[in-house]
């Protein structure tokens, strides 16, 4: 029998990141817990980046979806620690990202270190699958992405950087 918590979790699969419409908040791994109380439902989420402007929109959408399904008293709290990492992203999520044209974070978790002008681990082009790619900038169209260019098919692409 489906518990209330599982029901809510499956509803949250409808809530997507406005900047990555192929991923739900469950795919991204930003839902930390759901506490289904008698009077109130609490959703605990964690931000991807401190300044991610999508978080406010996501909170609002969570409220809307739950309200549509009869959950009136919804409290959304934020939990910062342990900090979100791209490891929280599911394998299915990474496949969806690639199909959408964004290179998913590399499986070997290589976050930025302070070593200067360091060689980056090769990132696979989501269009032609070549590894012959080059970093253009560590900062991309949103806080979570870096800009890359493929030297094989010459297409630029976004890389969801390890975090």
Partner 1 sequence: MSQSTNQLINYTLHLADNALILGQRNAEWTGHGPVLEQDIAISNIALDLVGQARNFYQYAAQLMNESIDKAGSQQHTEDSLAFLRDSGDYKNCLLVELEKGDWAKTVLRQFFFSNYQFFLYQVMQEKKDRTLAAVAEKSLKEVTYHLRWSAEWVIRLGDGTPESRRRITNALNDCWPYTGELTTNAAYETNLAQENIAVDLGSIKASWINKTMEVLGTAGLQLPVNTWMQTGGKEGRHTEHLGYVLAEMQYLQRTYPGVEW
Using CB under 8 A as the binding rule, whether residue 138 contacts partner 1 is answered as: yes
Among 38, 39, 82, 108, binds partner 1 (CB under 8 A): 82
The residue among 11 and 143 lying less far from partner 1, judged by its C-beta, is 143
Among 11, 47, 76, 127, binds partner 1 (CB under 8 A): 47
Q: Which stretch binds partner 1 (CB under 8 A): 16-24, 30-38, 65-73, 105-113?
A: 105-113
Using CB under 8 A as the binding rule, whether residue 113 contacts partner 1 is answered as: yes
d(CA 113, CA 34): 34
- Rule CB under 8 A: which residues touch partner 1? 47, 49-53, 80-84, 111-118, 136-141, 143, 147, 163
């Amino acid at each position: 029998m489906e518990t209330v918590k599982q029901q809510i979790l499956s509803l949250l699969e409808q809530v997507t990141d406005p900047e990555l419409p192929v991923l739900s908040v469950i795919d991204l791994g930003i839902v930390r817990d759901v506490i289904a109380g008698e009077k109130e439902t609490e959703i605990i989420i964690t931000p991807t980046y401190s300044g991610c402007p999508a978080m406010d929109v996501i909170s609002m959408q969570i409220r809307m979806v739950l309200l549509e399904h009869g959950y009136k008293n919804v409290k959304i709290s934020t939990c910062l620690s342990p900090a979100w990492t791209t490891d929280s992203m599911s394998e299915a999520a990474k496949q969806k990202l690639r199909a959408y044209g964004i290179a998913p974070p590399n499986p070997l978790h290589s976050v930025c270190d302070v070593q200067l002008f360091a060689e980056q681990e090769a990132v696979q082009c989501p269009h032609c699958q070549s590894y012959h790619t080059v970093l253009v900038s560590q900062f991309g169209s949103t806080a979570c992405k870096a800009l890359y260019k493929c030297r094989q098919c010459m297409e630029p692409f976004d890389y969801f950087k390890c975090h």
